[in-house]
Amino acid sequence: QHSAPSTQHYSPPSISRREWRNVMLLGTLILLLTTLPYLIGWLSQTDSLRFNGFMFGTDDGNSYLAKMRLGTRGDWLFHIVYTSEPHDGAFVFAPYLIGGKIAGLIASPDSPALTAALLLVFHLARIVFGWLLILTVYRFVAHFLASPTLRLLTTALIALGGGLGWLLILGGQDNFLGSSPLDFIVPEGYTFYLLYGLPHLSLARIGLLSGLMQILDDRKSGKYRRALLAGACWLVMALCVPFYLAVLATLLGLWGIALWIRARQFPIRLFWRLLIAGLIPAPYLLYTLISFTRNPIMAAWQTQNLLPSPNPLHYIFGYGILYLAAILALRRTWRRAADQPAYLLLIVWIVAAPILAYLPLAVQRRMVEGMFVPLCILAIIGISRLRRWQPLAILIFALLLPSTALLLFTGAISAAQPAASNRLFSDSAMLRTLDWLNANAPADSVALSDAGIGNFIPAHTNLRAFVGHGPETIHFYEKQELARRLLAGEMTDQERDQLFADYNISYVIAPPESTLSIASDLILVYDMAGYRVYEVQQAE
């Protein structure tokens, strides 16, 4: 028997101490594996090149540090520090604001050591939440698989599995049909990216799965308490990523409809549990909707945050093998759903995910959040019913692990080779310039530079960047061109004065290649290793 036994009321699975020891060991090994490239990076940095602390998405990584820095300063409201326009804050990105407050216990906001403290807290959160996510996944898997061997196998597949994107990469098709492979650009679609560098998404998935497990337990005793716990878990999820509530609501609504059709009667008990659970995170969802619709700057940020789904062939490369294996489980799962509704949730989830991925939304490809979990469960259920399933399981692992191995291997190789062209490292002279600026410039001053330096400004200082992050800089491309023209010395005095006045710019950071020269409205206040900082004298 590979599935949980049938009962009138679905109860939590039994997990032995030995199982917990095994999955804890698995989680520890995986998190050690994900940490190794970071250690290589820090050990490889030189006097002239410093490791940024991120193995992928440095632009987004710096934005996380910038959000944490707000918390270090005592803020509870998030402001976009990558844009110069004044705007009201909102209570979003709570995990990073709280993380910043913890980092503030180690170093003060004005200290150059704060960036290291922020990175320390970030990676501790990555390790802790990643480890807890693996344990949470195991418990969720145990609701559907009774065999400890299959439970551990499925958890390992969920944690380490990817798609066939590695075939496209090795075949030179890294921009296949206008997009990178799915398993290299959609963290929500898998799990490894979360463990590798996205602690808030690990925490969000912990909340998602933990809440679902409270709902799956439909025993009469304590059902309302479990509904309240589910709502609390989903509130944690929403504090990490608010729009995940929309994904969850859609999923639960479709699950309820499927149960209605399956049993030919309205699932009244499930309805009341979900209603009670949903009342807890609902006010926060309403708050974020109001905050982002009434705040024009926040609304503009969301409009610029475009993450469209790639060509459907990418989803076939990303999930095709697992869907084929999952088909083998559908008949058995449908039967089990007659008295255990949890099984129907798995089917609904993997059927709904491809539809959600193409809804007319700005963040299409993020709508597949968590679907890799039920897909792997169904795939293992499907192949485990075959007489000789072990060779097929080995084949699936052999096909789905290389993307993860490629990420780790290329990350470790890049981390071991510091160079000016390597985006994992930054010019120490540039970072020293930012340290000086942080110590000598008033907080919240707007600093203009090119987008590359601008991306580091809010992460390493208490200043705001004129341009520095694609989605978070309002009118990014227009501002990028304005910064280019200024730093190249192509602006007239009148254009320069207008730029400074319109965007309330207080400082200009000129990199070594800049041809900007001192003018009547620019006072040179810092000049070292080719980097210059000018203080702007606003015309009266």
Regarding predicted confidence, which is higher, 520 or 189? 189
Mean pLDDT of 173-198: 94
pLDDT at 9: 57
Per-residue pLDDT of 127-166, as tens digits, reads 999 999 999 999 999 999 999 999 999 999 999 999 999 9
Scanning the structure block, which residue is given the tokens 């800049």?
Answer: 514
Query: Alpha-carbon Rg of the chain, whole angstroms?
Result: 25
pLDDT at 338: 84
What are the φ/ψ torsions at residue 138 (nearest 5 degrees)? Answer: -60, -45
* Six-digit token string for 211: 């809440």
pLDDT at 3: 41
Give the model's confidence band at 7: pLDDT under 50 very low, under 70 low, under 90 confident, else very high: very low
Residue 237 has pLDDT above 50, yes or no: yes
* Six-digit token string for 453: 């330096």
Per-residue pLDDT of 427-456, as tens digits, reads 999 999 999 999 999 999 999 999 999 999
Mean pLDDT of 61-72: 97
73, with CB counted inside 10 A (0-12, 13-18, 19+), is middle
pLDDT at 2: 43
Query: Percentage of the chain surpassing pLDDT 70?
Result: 98
Give the model's confidence band at 1: pLDDT under 50 very low, under 70 low, under 90 confident, else very high: very low
Mean pLDDT of 191-218: 96
Side-chain-facing half-sphere of 520: CA atoms under 13 Å: 6
* Six-digit token string for 167: 């075939």
Mean of all residue pLDDT scores within the chain: 94
Query: Percentage of the chain surpassing pLDDT 90?
Result: 88
DSSP label of 83: S
Residue 110 has pLDDT above 60, yes or no: yes
pLDDT at 327: 96
Q: Any residues with CB less than 8 A from the CB of 399 and at least 6 apart, and which?
A: 164, 321
Look at the alpha carbons of 502, 506, 512, 515 in this order and tell me if their dihedral is positive or negative.
positive
201-215, 369-383, 516-530: the lowest-pLDDT one: 516-530
Per-residue pLDDT of 281-337, as tens digits, reads 999 999 999 999 999 999 999 999 999 999 999 999 999 999 999 999 999 999 998
Give the model's confidence band at 539: pLDDT under 50 very low, under 70 low, under 90 confident, else very high: low
* Six-digit token string for 536: 């702007």
pLDDT at 269: 87
Longest dimension (CA), the chain: 84
pLDDT at 4: 41
* Six-digit token string for 115: 């960036």
Residue 8 has pLDDT above 90, yes or no: no
